């Protein structure tokens, strides 16, 4: 990873001085081939623990909620937008990922075998966790970088 220009602030100091726990640079829309099923597994996890499903709304496909439609039914109907944090550049507090809540979610996701059979990646799982656990996040603006091809001899 090569940066075109320096970051205008120290991301580690930003985490230390604010309530922010997760800084990210870029987002992407993932392929349907690698996201299938995680939406449903996450909703199931949240329902089993009586968590606030509205935290998933920023990740849902856009759609109008029908009168009388429950949030669960709406989320299942519209589905996941496939939007995710792209993990080429991210900085976070490690306590977020060491928490019992995240470990519980990760075990639930792992038990579903989607990481093995569908290739749910770490960035996708973290995207859901950041929203589900309402982790304070900030995007690093104007982050310009590129990947160079490495030549091995």
List the structure tokens of 24.
């990210």
* Whole-number pLDDT of residue 35: 93
> Which is it for the CA torsion 96, 97, 98, 104, positive or negative?
positive
pLDDT band at 1 (very low <50, low <70, confident <90, very high): low
pTM score of the predicted model? 0.86
Give, as one character, the DSSP assignment of residue 18: S
Summarised one tens digit per residue, pLDDT across range 124-142 is 999 999 999 999 998 877 6
Kindly tell me if the per-residue pLDDT of 36 is higher than 70: yes
Q: How far apart are CA 96 and CA 90, in angstroms?
A: 13
β-strands 22-29, 145-146: how paired? unpaired
């Amino acid at each position: 990873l090569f940066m075109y220009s320096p970051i205008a602030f120290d991301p580690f100091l930003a985490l230390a001085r604010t309530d922010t726990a997760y800084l990210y640079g870029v987002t992407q829309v993932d392929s349907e081939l690698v996201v299938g099923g995680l939406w449903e597994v996450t909703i199931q996890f949240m329902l089993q623990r009586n968590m606030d499903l509205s935290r998933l709304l920023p990740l849902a496909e856009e759609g109008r909620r029908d009168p009388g439609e429950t949030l669960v039914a709406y989320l299942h109907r519209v589905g996941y937008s496939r939007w995710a944090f792209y993990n080429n550049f991210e900085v976070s507090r490690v306590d977020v990922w060491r928490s019992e809540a995240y470990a519980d979610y990760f075990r639930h996701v792992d038990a579903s075998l989607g990481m093995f059979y569908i290739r749910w990646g770490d960035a996708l799982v973290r995207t859901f966790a950041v929203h589900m656990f309402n982790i304070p996040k900030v995007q690093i603006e104007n982050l310009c970088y590129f990947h160079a091809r490495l030549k091995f001899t």
